[in-house]
């Protein structure tokens, strides 16, 4: 007589593996989207914190740290802050007992072009105004109320549902 073998057929195993693969892909895509949103939220928070530090600097010096143009170097790149950068001024590394306004000025979570923070000041008013800029990975509702256009050399985008440039100024 015939003996029945117990187990799964090859087709059943392939179907289960395919379903697991599809579910894993969906989960990974969702996680990546959540990570992007988290990094964007951090960028917005970082710029607001730096703006507070810049205001404290302004209260003591009656101007913001003066720079030419709007570049990542003006903000301050990873490593030792460059003399004249916003990080240099706010972290108190200006020498001679300079005031510390922030112990560590935050950098972009990715910190690689184009994901770097930028800083520019108004050269015509002796650094009485400034702009801070970050590139978000996705459009965020914060972009609906941010600064648009070119501000002190910072390309801040235009108001749209796809805008990813986030800029603030006092």
Q: Which residues does residue 133 pair with via DSSP β-bridges, in sequence order? A: 118, 167
Assess if residue 11 is contained within a domain.
no
pTM for the complete prediction?
Answer: 0.79
- At residue 40, the pLDDT reads 92
Assess if residue 32 is contained within a domain.
no
Across 56-67, average pLDDT: 90
The rounded percent of the chain whose pLDDT value lies above 70 is 92
Assess if residue 66 is contained within a domain.
yes
Domain span at 134? 39-168
Tokens standing for residue 73: 């170097």
Assess if residue 30 is contained within a domain.
no
Tokens standing for residue 12: 């059943």
Instruction: Give the span between the Cα atoms of 139 and 93, in whole angstroms.
Output: 35
Of the candidates 144, 65, 68, the one whose C-alpha atom is nearest the C-alpha of residue 101 is 65
Q: How many domains does the chain fold into?
A: 1
């Amino acid at each position: 007589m015939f003996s029945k073998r117990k187990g799964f057929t090859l087709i059943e195993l392939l179907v289960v593996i395919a379903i697991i693969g599809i579910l894993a892909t969906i989960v990974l895509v969702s996680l990546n989207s959540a990570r992007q949103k988290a990094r964007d939220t951090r960028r917005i928070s970082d710029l607001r914190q730096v703006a507070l530090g810049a205001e404290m600097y302004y209260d003591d010096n009656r101007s913001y740290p003066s720079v030419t143009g709007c570049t990542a170097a003006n903000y301050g790149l990873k490593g030792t802050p460059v003399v004249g950068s916003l990080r240099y001024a706010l972290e108190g590394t200006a020498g001679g007992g300079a005031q510390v306004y922030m112990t560590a000025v935050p950098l972009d979570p990715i910190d690689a072009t184009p994901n770097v923070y930028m800083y520019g000041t108004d050269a015509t008013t002796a650094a009485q105004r400034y702009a801070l800029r970050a590139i978000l990975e996705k459009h965020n509702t914060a972009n609906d109320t941010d600064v648009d256009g070119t501000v002190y050399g910072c390309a801040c985008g235009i108001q749209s549902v796809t805008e990813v440039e986030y800029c603030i100024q006092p």
